[in-house]
Amino acid sequence: MKASLLGRNHDAELAAFCCCPEGAPGWQQEVETFLRTAVFRRADYVVGLWDGGQLVGVSGFNPITIKGLPVASPIDLPGWDLIVIGVSLDQQQNGHGKTILAETLKIMAQTDPTRTLVSARAHRENHVSIYVCAEAGIEALPPPDGDYIRLIGGVPGTAVPNWL
């Protein structure tokens, strides 16, 4: 498998990746809409994960300033906002989510090593994403924000603050 930053020359592959079959369940259409919005419109950086020439996963992220951490004496820190990780429906349960997250974190560190933190949000019922993030050291911060949980962690390969 190979991961790389995607440019505009991959629009066709991304469009095909975000394409539900005709008559797909509502939740699949909702996920497709979110992926299209997050990847095509909101993400400054898009990573693609390729397996045998097939795009099997994508992620999108932006540079941000993370505010309010550490809680004891909050400061503003440069970080990344991980907007989305998506694995194609026919490739789920193959460990690709874990791989795309690991590769995305590597690309974050290579892109700007001064951004040492990564922030994400996950629906509280999305146990797979929460678990995959926790395995990578991106942990939930209490309390949940409605249906969503805020996650925070260090970017491996950078000078992660020792209080994290």
- Using CA atoms, how far apart are residues 22 and 29, in angstroms rounded to an integer? 10
Q: Residues 102, 106, 112, CA angle at the centre, nearest 5°?
A: 145
Residues 6+ apart with CB under 8 A from 9: none
pLDDT band at 20 (very low <50, low <70, confident <90, very high): low
Q: Which of 8-17, 24-33, 45-54, 149-158 has the highest mean pLDDT?
A: 149-158
For residues 72 and 89, the model is more confident at 72
Domains of the chain: 2-154 (3.40.630.30)
Q: Which two tokens stand for residue 131?
A: 């678990």
Half-sphere exposure of 33 (CA within 13 A, CB side): 7
HEC readout, 9-75: HHHHHHHHHCCCCCCCCHHHHHHHHHHHHHHHHHCCEEEEEEECCEEEEEEEEEEEEEEEECCCCCE
Kindly report the number of other CB atoms within 10 A of residue 99's CB atom.
18
Q: How far is CA 84 from the centre of its chain?
A: 4
User: Which pLDDT belongs to residue 73?
Assistant: 87
Given this model, what pLDDT does residue 43 score?
86
Provide the pLDDT confidence category of residue 10 given band limits of 50, 70 and 90: low
Residue 133 CA to chain centroid, in angstroms? 9
Q: How far apart are CA 131 and CA 120, in angstroms?
A: 13
* CA gap 66, 113 in Å, rounded: 15
Half-sphere exposure of 131 (CA within 13 A, CB side): 6
How does pLDDT run across 76-102, given as a tens digit for each residue?
A: 999 999 998 888 877 788 889 999 999
